[in-house]
Amino acid sequence: MNDIVHPYIGVTGIMTPQEARAALRVASTWESNYKVMLGVLASSKTLSGRKNKWPNRYPNPERIAELFVDHPKALNFVHYSTDTPEYLAAQLLSIAKLAGPHLHGFQLNVVWPEVAELIHFHLNSNPVGCYQLVLQLGTKAIDQCTSLEDLVARVALYKDLVRYILLDCSGGKGIPFDVTLTYARMEALRDACPWAHIVVAGGLSGDRESFSPLEKLIPLQEHLSCDAEGRLRTHEDDDLNVTDMQHYLRSLHLAFARGLFGGAMR
């Protein structure tokens, strides 16, 4: 598997090449090692031609390749959910073909996916192990755990299979993350699974109030990654608000680089 892990500031729900290029225009000015994660949503429903309940967030799978740009600051991920997780590997391999040569990996919006499916996916990707995986820990996944120890024990099973662990109890709804709970989970994962790069999502936008809680998490992981979706959409049509997206990218990167969190990024 690709061992190079880049911290990122993510935007999920990319629908057009113009939106992707607008994000990359901001990221192209960054002198840090941060990338912009361009998240394209897909599901077993859209893969089979059925409509999703969020039609302005899920593009036609046949168009995914158009959305991924070959750019040094781009980290191109498909965020995938499925009603049939027992066939996850085959589904990911199908999407990889549709997504084209600029795909870097997948975010798995699947509750505790089977380890065997991820092994099968990595062994059959071309070249073998070329894609990076993000394991989403949402409300359903966390609710299945009886304790923090149980949580980290489950995550430990994915060593060498995933590179990023996403703490996200918002699920694209713009709900702010709980700082105390997130801190405790990050601390436990840092100690038990040091190989995992943590990503935080939930209620983030370009407003300082939304991202200032990240400051409390920086001591646990210097180059923290984050992702935003729900609060970057328009209220009327649920479209991506490009102006808000660019403001979010600039604000978060500035905060990480030298502002809110102090110090310059290497």
Structure tokens at 19: 């939106």
| Tens of pLDDT, residues 80-137 | 999 999 999 999 999 999 999 999 999 999 999 999 999 999 999 999 999 999 999 9
Torsion angles phi and psi, residue 65, rounded to 5: -60, -30
C-alpha span between 21 and 1 (Å, rounded): 28
Number of other residues whose CB lies within 10 A of the CB of residue 108: 28
The verdict on residue 3 lying in a domain is no
Q: Is residue 263 part of a domain?
A: no
Q: What is the pLDDT of residue 259?
A: 54
Structure tokens at 122: 């990595």
Q: For residue 124, tell me if it sits in a domain.
A: yes
Domain range holding 119? 8-257
Question: Do 41 and 58 meet the contact criterion of CB atoms below 8 Å apart?
Answer: yes
CA atoms lying within 13 Å on the CB side of residue 81: 16
The reported pTM is 0.94
pLDDT at 1: 64
Residue 125 phi, psi (nearest 5): -75, 160
The answer to whether the beta carbons of residues 238 and 56 sit under 8 Å apart is yes
Q: For residue 264, is it within any domain?
A: no
Position 208 confidence tier, pLDDT thresholds 50, 70, 90: very high
Domains in the chain, number: 1
Q: Quick one: CA dihedral 252, 256, 262, 266, positive or negative?
A: negative
Q: Which residue has the tokens 């099973």?
A: 157
Q: Classify residue 87: in a domain, yes or no.
A: yes
pLDDT in tens, 133-162: 999 999 999 999 999 999 999 999 999 999
Predicted confidence (pLDDT) at residue 263 exceeds the cutoff of 50? no
